[in-house]
Structure formats: C-alpha cells, structure tokens
C-alpha cells in the first residue's frame, strides 16, 4: 500500500504575468511623458557651464537699463530691429542670437526679441553672468 502521493511543490517562478505588467507600465510612462513635455514655449538654446566657446558666429542683441536696443554695437529702434537682424544673419548657416539684457529690465523686452527669433527660426542664447 503506497500512501505517499506524488505531490511535489514546484519551485519555479512564472514570469509571464510579470512581463505583462512591465510592458503596461512602460507604455503608460511613454504616453505620460510625451503628453507632459509638449508645451507652447519658445525653444531656447541654454548656455552650458563647461566653459568652452564654440567657433560659431553670432549676433549680439543688447538691451540696457534705459530700454535702448543694440544689435552688435549699433543702436537700433524697435521698429527696424527685425530687418537689421535679418540683414546680419542672412549669409550665416546657423542663425544665432546672443541676448544680453541688463538687470532690472522688464521681461517683456526680452520676450520681444525672443518672439522675433521664434518667427524667423533664429536660435537664441540668453547671456548671464557667472556666479
């Protein structure tokens, strides 16, 4: 008489349900990240902190504390600044603007230049003082 049965406990772990959960989480995070990162902000090229300078020609736009606009070193009125920028950047393969804004100037003045750059597909770098 054989009372002992052939019941053996399996020590293997079934991973198929775990991989389904992993794939569902992966799809969820991909969809969540793509919907969260799309904003209507201007695309800005931010300065890096490595201290290297590239050999890229740029046009400097400066706004001083009396709200005078300068393209490179030439004072320019707000009415013709877009035409002056278009003239200076027409022969350059990479159209880059470095924006220098004095401390205390209203943000609307900087946004005015950024809007011109956005409409004309120029790259904008906001110049800051190092700490």
Question: Which one has a higher pLDDT value, 36 or 125?
Answer: 125
Q: Is the pLDDT of residue 121 over 60?
A: yes
61 in Cβ contact with 98 (< 8 Å): yes
Question: Which one has a higher pLDDT value, 63 or 1?
Answer: 63
Q: Is the pLDDT of residue 26 over 90?
A: yes
pLDDT at position 45, please? 45
- The span from the CA of 120 to the CA of 95, in Å, is 9
Buried/exposed 8-31: b ≥16 CB within 10 Å, e otherwise: eeeeeeeeeeeeeeeeeeeeeeee
pLDDT at position 27, please? 94
Q: Is the pLDDT of residue 46 over 50?
A: no
> How does the average pLDDT of the chain come out, rounded?
78
Does 59-126 carry CATH code 3.40.50.720?
A: no
């Amino acid at each position: 008489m054989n009372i002992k049965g052939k019941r053996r406990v399996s020590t293997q772990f079934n991973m198929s349900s775990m991989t389904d959960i992993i794939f569902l989480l992966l799809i969820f995070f991909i969809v969540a990240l793509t919907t969260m990162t799309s904003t209507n902000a201007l695309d800005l090229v931010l300065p890096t902190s490595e201290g290297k300078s590239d050999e890229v020609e740029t046009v400097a736009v400066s706004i001083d504390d009396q709200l005078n606009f300068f393209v490179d070193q030439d004072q320019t009125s707000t009415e013709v600044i877009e035409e002056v920028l278009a003239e200076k950047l027409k022969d350059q393969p990479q159209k880059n603007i470095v924006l220098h804004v004095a401390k205390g100037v209203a943000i609307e003045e900087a946004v005015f230049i950024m809007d011109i750059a956005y409409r004309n597909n120029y790259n904008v770098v906001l110049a800051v003082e190092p700490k």
